[in-house]
Amino acid sequence: MDKNAIDALLRKIESTEKDSGNPRVQAIVNRIVRDLFVTIDEFDIQPHEFWSAMSYLTEAGRSGEYGLIAAGLGFEHFLDLRTDEEEARQGVAGGTPRTIEGPLYVAGAPESLGSARLDQDEQPGEVLFMGGQVRGADGKPLPGALVEVWHANHLGGYSFFDPGQTAYNLRRTIRTDADGRYRFRSKVPVGYSVPPGGATDKLLTLLGRHGTRPAHIHFFVTAPDHRKLTTQINIEGDPYLWDDFAFATREGLVPPLVKVTDPARLRAHEVDAPFYAIEFDFDLHARRDGLPPDHVERAHFSA
Ligand SMILES: [Fe+2]
């Protein structure tokens, strides 16, 4: 199509906008519409293809899969990279890397001091003990920091989203002890895939991609005067470790997974079979003015 004709239509649309509108929304929507007009023209998108895309978006919205689609198309990781770059520009370096939150956090998990057990439902799997220290920018331990942790069960499901689990199974909030330490007992999570046949799955299939995440554990770590850390650790050895459909695996977030068989340690942990152990410390950055927001406002499932 004649580029002048596209420009003329865009100008006509924009001329209907009033000063009462929101200038930022106007500028962004105008840009997106322009880009889509050009895309439709460049790929000679037919009317039935356009309406098929509209139906797809409606279905994706109804099924609540936009969070998965945003992760799968790399948007969530892209936002992390932009925040990293802005922090680096402002001299924030080191610390535990951030990575995507994902769409499955639920607030209000039971809180305990120092340690917690996450697997409240009976479930198969290897016992996992994970623990470490939360430290501030000066390397000193942070007592009273909050470690919010959530992960999937042996079938890759999350409580509240999986009707087979009780409320808050595999979700806890642990306040670090006087030494800044946290510790929990759980089951080693497994990786999971997007819902088969769902909107995300359909899109990824057409893109020739898989929709699998390697096994991981999610964290929010917060402490007064420090930047909130949103991150995950991965379970070492997962075949999808560096092939995450959500691009969330990062250097520094893959701690060793150690199998413990020593009978004395089994007794000390009150288990009668070998278990897995992960040691992982969280290093936070000091809060200061001018840095990009550390707490991301986002709609969550409310329990
Ligand atoms: Fe997850």
Quote the pLDDT of residue 302. Answer: 85
Q: Which of 299, 260, 280 is nearest to 126 (CA)?
A: 260
Dihedral pair phi/psi, residue 31, rounded to 5°:
-65, -45
Quote the pLDDT of residue 147. Answer: 98
- CA–centroid distance, 216 to ligand 1, in Å, is 6
Contact 82, 136 (CB under 8 A): no
Q: Which residues pair with 78 in a beta bridge?
A: none
- CA–centroid distance, 131 to ligand 1, in Å, is 19
pLDDT band, residue 174 (cuts 50/70/90): very high
What pLDDT, in 10s, does the model give residues 183-209? 999 999 999 999 999 999 999 999 999
pLDDT of residue 303 exceeding 90, the answer is no
Which amino acid would we find at residue 9? Answer: L
Task: Say how far apart CA 113 and CA 38 lie, in whole Å.
Answer: 56
DSSP character string of 176-232: --TTSEEEEEEE----EEPPTTSHHHHHHHHTT---EE--EEEEEEE-TTB--EEEE
- CA–centroid distance, 280 to ligand 1, in Å, is 18
- CA–centroid distance, 184 to ligand 1, in Å, is 18
Tell me the average pLDDT across 91-99: 96
Contact 218, 232 (CB under 8 A): yes
Burial of 126 (0-12, 13-18, 19+ CB in 10 A): middle
Q: What three-state secondary structure class fits 127?
A: strand
Cα separation values, 79 from 42, 130, 238, Å: 28, 28, 25
- CA–centroid distance, 151 to ligand 1, in Å, is 6
pLDDT band, residue 84 (cuts 50/70/90): very high
Q: How many residues in total does the chain contain?
A: 303
- CA–centroid distance, 191 to ligand 1, in Å, is 8
What pLDDT, in 10s, does the model give residues 54-67? 999 999 999 999 99
pLDDT of residue 219 exceeding 90, the answer is yes
Lookup: tokens for 151: 């992960």
- CA–centroid distance, 53 to ligand 1, in Å, is 27
